[in-house]
């Protein structure tokens, strides 16, 4: 495993030694001296040991971020100078793209081609996009009574706690840090315990780019320790979280005590709706991308695949056949389309859902089990799975699985498709496949979700907002909408 690509020597350095955390511009060990292991999901082998942040480390990091914010080294820096620093971050990510992509694939298990050609360039692009906003964040002159001059300032929120998941580790750093830095905030970023390595490497690049000490602090550690301490800390002004709906609700409850600003990007159970008048080949490809990209560990995965009754059997067959042709294996092999799941815990969770689906009467047309073929038996691989015989009220159709598992469900007509599609607590995304333009418009409006893709799936661009309806969370990331998460308006009155 892993022989197909020659590792950059810097990757070996990075995965070899115990990794420290970044607080106030310095690399430090955890106050407790504790570390945790991060394994390679493809082999189960330990890649690196990482400092395990806890409440005391979080407190130091928050105080550093608070000081940096209050001293104004970042928020009051000339906008063009801050812009230059964000552009340098983007350039440095691109300069080290091979190394970052290798680290990402080693730590997360995703195919190297995806790390190298999707995640890392998108991370650089996100910093570059928000660099451009820094000189274009305006307040307003308001038409008040002429006895006064009234204007609004768009000021940063302050100290931001940013808690991210393991499915797109570096990209999630960029989605959080790009807009918060652009708006003049300071941060404590907590990467997921499963995938801390690229965030820590990014920390080195941030310093190299000229981000002042304390402006970004990176504290790896577990959710119940480092994450919870960040959520509770009274000096933190805002929490931005991406992860499970369960933890999102916990954060919502916990932050009530200090009334922090909160934005939440949570789980999904997205409907992908295929009408019988669709381009079937394109819809099959879109359905595959929708659910097997990143081994299905994607919050907007199109896991409920609704297919119009008369097309259902043929479509399910074709999907299973095409899915069967996707190579699963060594993430560094350029032919690999589906890698391992991120962790043993995720493997157990997903295989648990496979068992639950079979028990409730769903039939796997393909897959339905762990992949333990030679060379993969030590990794956390689950075979791409296509379930039929699924009803929308079964556990596998209601709960987020976060693995390479799709449920194909028939529907009668447009109304039925919309009703079943919306019959979920989630509302992150949806897909619609049809050649009928009017139908596409109607269904796109009728679905209650933050993103709807018509005749495509999983299309992302930093210019377009992303976020949830219903229990998929609130707040919009990316695009100019993310600036609203990281600024607040101040109204200033001057007596003329």
Q: Nearer to ligand NAI by C-beta: 47 or 231? A: 231
Catalytic residue from among 83, 99, 114, 265: 265
Q: Nearer to ligand NAI by C-beta: 54 or 98? A: 54
Q: Among residues 267, 286, 357, 427, which is the contact residue for ligand NAI, using CB under 6 A?
A: 267
- Site mask, ligand NAI, residues 341-370, x = CB under 6 A? --------x---------------------
Q: Residue 54, by phi and psi: left (phi above 0), alpha (psi -120 to 50) or beta? A: beta
Q: Among residues 224, 348, 377, 436, which is the contact residue for ligand NAI, using CB under 6 A?
A: 224
231 binds ligand NAI, rule: CB under 6 A:
yes
Map the chain to HEC letters.
Answer: CCCCCCCCHHHHHHHHCCECEEECCEEECCCCCCEEEEECCCCCCEEEEEECECHHHHHHHHHHHHHHHHHCCCCCCCHHHHHHHHHHHHHHHHHCHHHHHHHHHHHHCCCHHHHHHHHHHHHHHHHHHHHHHHHHCCCCEECCCCCEEEEEEEEECCEEEEECCCCCHHHHHHHHHHHHHHCCCEEEEECCCCCCHHHHHHHHHHHHHCCCCCCEEECCECHHHHHHHHHHCCCCCEEEEECCHHHHHHHHHHHHHCCCEEEEECCCCCEEEECCCCCHHHHHHHHHHHHHHHHHCCCCCCCEEEEEHHHHHHHHHHHHHHHHCCCECCCCCCCCCECCCCCHHHHHHHHHHHHHHHHCCCEEEECCCECCCCCCCCCCCECCEEEECCCCCCHHHHCCCCCCEEEEEEECCHHHHHHHHHCCCEECEEEEECCCHHHHHHHHHHCCCCEEEECCCCCCCCCCCECCEECCEECCECCCHHHHHCEEEEEEEEEC
Q: Provide the minimum distance between the beta carbon of 229 and ligand NAI in the complex, in angstroms, as a whole number.
A: 8
243 binds ligand NAI, rule: CB under 6 A:
yes
Q: Please, are residues 266 and 248 in contact by the beta-carbon 8 Å criterion?
A: yes
Please provide residue 279's backbone torsions phi and psi, each rounded to the nearest 5 degrees: -70, 100
331 binds ligand NAI, rule: CB under 6 A:
no
Q: Nearer to ligand NAI by C-beta: 224 or 413? A: 224
Q: Provide the minimum distance between the beta carbon of 358 and ligand NAI in the complex, in angstroms, as a whole number.
A: 19
Q: Nearer to ligand NAI by C-beta: 131 or 236? A: 236
Q: Nearer to ligand NAI by C-beta: 236 or 266? A: 266
Q: Provide the minimum distance between the beta carbon of 445 and ligand NAI in the complex, in angstroms, as a whole number.
A: 24
Q: Among residues 21, 85, 266, 287, which is the contact residue for ligand NAI, using CB under 6 A?
A: 266
Q: Provide the minimum distance between the beta carbon of 197 and ligand NAI in the complex, in angstroms, as a whole number.
A: 14
Catalytic residue from among 160, 173, 183, 299: 299
Q: Nearer to ligand NAI by C-beta: 37 or 413? A: 37
244 binds ligand NAI, rule: CB under 6 A:
yes
- Site mask, ligand NAI, residues 75-94, x = CB under 6 A? --------------------
Q: Provide the minimum distance between the beta carbon of 444 and ligand NAI in the complex, in angstroms, as a whole number.
A: 22
CA-CA distances (angstroms) from residue 4 to 48, 101, 123, 335, 410?
21, 14, 24, 11, 42
Q: Among residues 8, 24, 59, 250, which is the contact residue for ligand NAI, using CB under 6 A?
A: 250
477 binds ligand NAI, rule: CB under 6 A:
no
Q: How many residues bind ligand NAI (CB under 6 A)?
A: 25
Nearest residue to ligand NAI on Cβ basis: 223
Q: Provide the minimum distance between the beta carbon of 356 and ligand NAI in the complex, in angstroms, as a whole number.
A: 14
Q: Provide the minimum distance between the beta carbon of 146 and ligand NAI in the complex, in angstroms, as a whole number.
A: 50
Catalytic residue list contains 265: yes
Q: Please, are residues 198 and 107 in contact by the beta-carbon 8 Å criterion?
A: yes
CA nearest to 202, candidates 19, 355, 465, 80:
19
- Work out the widest C-alpha separation in the chain, in whole angstroms: 80
Q: Provide the minimum distance between the beta carbon of 165 and ligand NAI in the complex, in angstroms, as a whole number.
A: 3
Q: Nearer to ligand NAI by C-beta: 244 or 479? A: 244
- Site mask, ligand NAI, residues 152-191, x = CB under 6 A? -----------xxx-x----------------------x-
Residues 385-414 that bind ligand NAI (CB under 6 A): 400, 402
Q: Provide the minimum distance between the beta carbon of 243 and ligand NAI in the complex, in angstroms, as a whole number.
A: 3
Binding site for ligand NAI (CB under 6 A): 163-165, 167, 190, 192-193, 222-224, 227-228, 231, 242-244, 247, 250, 265-267, 299, 349, 400, 402
Residues annotated as catalytic are: 265, 299
């Amino acid at each position: 495993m892993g022989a197909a690509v020659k590792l950059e020597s810097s990757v070996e350095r990075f995965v070899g030694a115990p990794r420290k955390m970044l607080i106030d511009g310095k690399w430090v060990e955890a106050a407790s001296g504790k570390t945790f292991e991060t394994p390679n999901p493809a082999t189960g082998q330990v890649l690196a040991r990482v400092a395990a942040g806890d409440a005391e480390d979080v407190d130091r990091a928050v105080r550093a971020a608070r000081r940096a914010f209050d001293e104004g080294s970042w928020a009051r820096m000339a906008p063009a100078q801050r812009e230059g620093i964000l552009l340098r971050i983007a350039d440095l990510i691109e300069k080290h793209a091979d190394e970052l992509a290798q680290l990402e694939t080693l730590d997360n298990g995703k195919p190297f081609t995806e790390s190298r050609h999707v995640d890392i360039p998108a991370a650089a692009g996100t910093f570059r996009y928000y660099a451009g906003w820094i000189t274009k964040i305006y307040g307003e002159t308001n038409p008040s009574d002429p006895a006064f001059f009234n204007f609004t300032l768009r000021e940063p929120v302050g100290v931001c706690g940013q808690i991210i998941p393991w499915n797109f580790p570096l990209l999630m750093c960029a989605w959080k840090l790009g807009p918060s830095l652009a708006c003049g905030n300071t941060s404590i970023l907590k990467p997921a315990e499963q995938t801390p390595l690229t965030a820590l490497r990014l920390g080195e690049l941030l310093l190299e780019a000229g981000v002042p000490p304390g402006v970004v602090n990176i504290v790896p550690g577990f959710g119940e320790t480092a994450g919870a301490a960040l959520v509770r800390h009274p000096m933190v002004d805002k929490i931005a979280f991406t992860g499970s709906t369960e933890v999102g609700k916990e954060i919502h409850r916990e932050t009530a005590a200090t009334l922090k600003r909160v934005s939440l990007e949570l789980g999904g159970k997205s409907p992908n709706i295929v009408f019988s008048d669709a381009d079937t080949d394109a819809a099959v490809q879109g359905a595959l991308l929708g659910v097997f990209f990143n081994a299905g560990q994607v919050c907007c995965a199109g896991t409920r695949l609704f297919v119009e009754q008369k097309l259902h059997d043929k479509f399910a067959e074709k999907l299973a056949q095409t899915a069967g042709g996707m190579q699963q294996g060594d993430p560094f092999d350029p032919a690999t389309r589906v890698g391992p799941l991120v962790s043993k815990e995720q493997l157990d969770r997903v295989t648990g859902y496979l068992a639950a689906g079979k028990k409730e009467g769903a039939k796997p047309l393909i897959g339905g089990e762990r992949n333990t073929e030679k060379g993969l038996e030590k990794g956390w691989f689950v075979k791409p799975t296509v379930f039929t015989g699924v009803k929308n009220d079964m556990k596998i159709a209601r709960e987020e699985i976060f693995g390479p598992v799709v449920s194909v469900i028939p529907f009668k007509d447009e109304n039925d498709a919309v009703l079943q599609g919306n019959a979920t607590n989630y509302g992150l995304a949806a897909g619609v496949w049809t050649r009928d333009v009017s139908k596409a418009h109607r269904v796109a409006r009728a679905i209650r979700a933050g993103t709807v893709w018509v005749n495509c799936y999983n299309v992302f661009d930093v210019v377009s907002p992303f976020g949830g309806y219903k229990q998929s969370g609130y707040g919009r990331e990316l695009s100019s909408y993310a600036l609203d998460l990281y600024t607040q308006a101040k109204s200033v009155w001057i007596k003329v």
